[in-house]
Amino acid sequence: MSRYRVQNPATGEVVETFEAASDEQIQQALASADAAYGLWREKSIQERAAVVRRIAELFEERKEELSRIIALEMGKPLAEGIEEVEFAASILDYYGVHGPSLAVDQEIPSTVPGKAIIENCPVGVLLGVMPWNFPYYQVARFAAPNLVLGNTILLKHADICPRSALAIQQIMEEAGVPDGGYANIFATHEQIAAIIADPRVQGVSLTGSEQAGSIIGEQAGRHLKKAVLELGGTDPMIVLDSHDLASVAADAWNFRVYNGGQVCNGNKRMIVMEDIYDEFVAQLKKLADGLVPGNPLNLPEGAYGPLSSRAAAEQVNAQVQRAVAEGATLQVGGVLSEGEGAYFSPAVLTGISRDSASFREEIFGPVAIVYKVSSDEEALELANDSDFGLGGSVFSTDKARAAKIASRLNVGMAHVNIIAAEAAELPFGGVKRSGFGREMGPLGMGEFVNKRLYFVAG
C-alpha cells in the first residue's frame, strides 16, 4: 500500500493513493523554498500580511469543499469540519491583520552612545510536520505567523491527509505566496531527517505524538535547529461544585467526544468531588447511552462518527480493555465495530487505579475517564500526577477557590470555569512531555524569528 492515501475510515476503503516524493523532488523543494525566501523576505511585512489575509478569505470561501475532504480522509463530521476551517481562517486573518504590529521593531535604552533596536527578522526555510486530527487548523497556526514574518515553509502533512494537504497548497499559491514559498511534500521519515539536517532549513515545528516529538526533537537538537513541539496531553478537568451539574457534565462530555475524542487538549481526566461524583457519572452515562454509528458526511443527531482509522479505533479499544483488566469499570459504550470501519462507541470509564499502567496513558479517543476525590488538595495532587502538562481546568461556583487551584496546575494553559479557551490571539502549548514552544497569539509570532540587535553609534 502507498504510504500516502485517502482511506475512508467509515468503510476502510482506500479511495486514492499518492506516491512518496523522490529524493530529487525533495531537493527541488528545498532549493525552491530557499530561493523563494530570498524574494519573500524582501517584500514589506504589509505586503506579506495582505497575502495571508487573502489566504484566510479563500479558506472561508471554500469551507464546504474543504470540510468534505477531511470527512472522507479522517472522518470528521461535516459540521465540525466547517468549524475547523472557520477557525483556521480566523487564525490566518489574525496574523494578516495584527502580524505587522506584533513584529514591530523595539528600541531599547543603552549605556553605549547611540541607538539600540531589537529587530524581528525572518530566519529562512522552516519545516512543519502536521497531524491528521485537525488538518487545516494545525497548518494555519504554524504557517500564518511565519509567512507574515517572511519565512518560507515546507509542509509534511499526515499520511492520511494528502487531499487536504494539496488543497492547502493550492490556496497558498492562489493567494499569492510565491512559488516554493509554501510547498507540500509527501516525504518519508528518512527524507524528513535529511531535511532537518539540511543547512538551508532553520527550524522545525511538529504537532503529534510524544514518540514523534522525541524523534524530531532529537534530530533538531543534533543539527542545532530551533524546534517547537506540541505533543500529547492528559488534561485534568477538576469539578469542585456546581449550581447546574447537568450543564457542566454536558460541557465535559461534548468537549471530550468532539472530533472523536482525538483532541490533544481534550479533558481526558475528569476529577470530581465525592459529593457530586455519582450524579456527574450518571449524567455522562445518560449522554453516552443509545448513540449509534453514522456517516460523517451526513451525521444525524444521536450518532457518532468514526475515528481516523481502523488502527486508531483498535488502539483505543485495546487501551480500554487493558484498563478494565486492571480493575477499572466500563460504565457505558466502548464497543469496537466489526468489519473495516473505524467506529468505537463513546465510553465512560471509572475506577482506574493510580498504580496501574493505564493511569499514565493518554487515550486518544472518545473515552471520558472520571476520578473521585474528597478534597481540593487531593484534586490538585491527582491533576498534577501526570507526565504531560498541556492544559487543565477547574470548575466551581467559588471563582476564587477555583482560581487558587488552577494557579497551581503544572500545565501550559490553565482555565477557570471553561475547559479550554481557544482563539487566534491565545497562545497554545504545554510543559513536561507535552512539548515546548507556543503557537498562536503574540507568542506564536516569536518562535521562528531572529531577534536581531541593530545598533547605530552616535
Which positions are annotated as active-site residues? 230, 264
Residue 250 near residue 71, CB atoms below 8 Å: no
Query: 99: which 3 cell numbers?
Result: 502580524
Q: What is the DSSP string of 335-398?
A: -BPSSS---B--EEEE---TTSGGGG----SSEEEEEEESSHHHHHHHHH-SSEESEEEEE-S-
Residue 390 near residue 193, CB atoms below 8 Å: no
Residue 322 near residue 359, CB atoms below 8 Å: no
Burial class (CB in 10 A: 0-12, 13-18, 19+), 314: middle
Q: Convert 401-417 into a string of H (helix), E (strand) and C (coil).
A: HHHHHHCCCCCCEEEEC
The C-alpha cell 541593530 sits at 454
Q: What is the DSSP letter of 326?
A: T
Q: Torsion angle of alpha carbons 82, 303, 261, 168, nearest 10°?
A: -30
Between β-strands 329-332 and 347-350, what pairing exists: parallel, antiparallel or unpaired?
antiparallel
Cβ-Cβ contacts under 8 Å for 43 (sequence gap 6 or more): 150
Query: 210: which 3 cell numbers?
Result: 510524544
Sign of the alpha-carbon torsion through 36, 39, 44, 46: negative
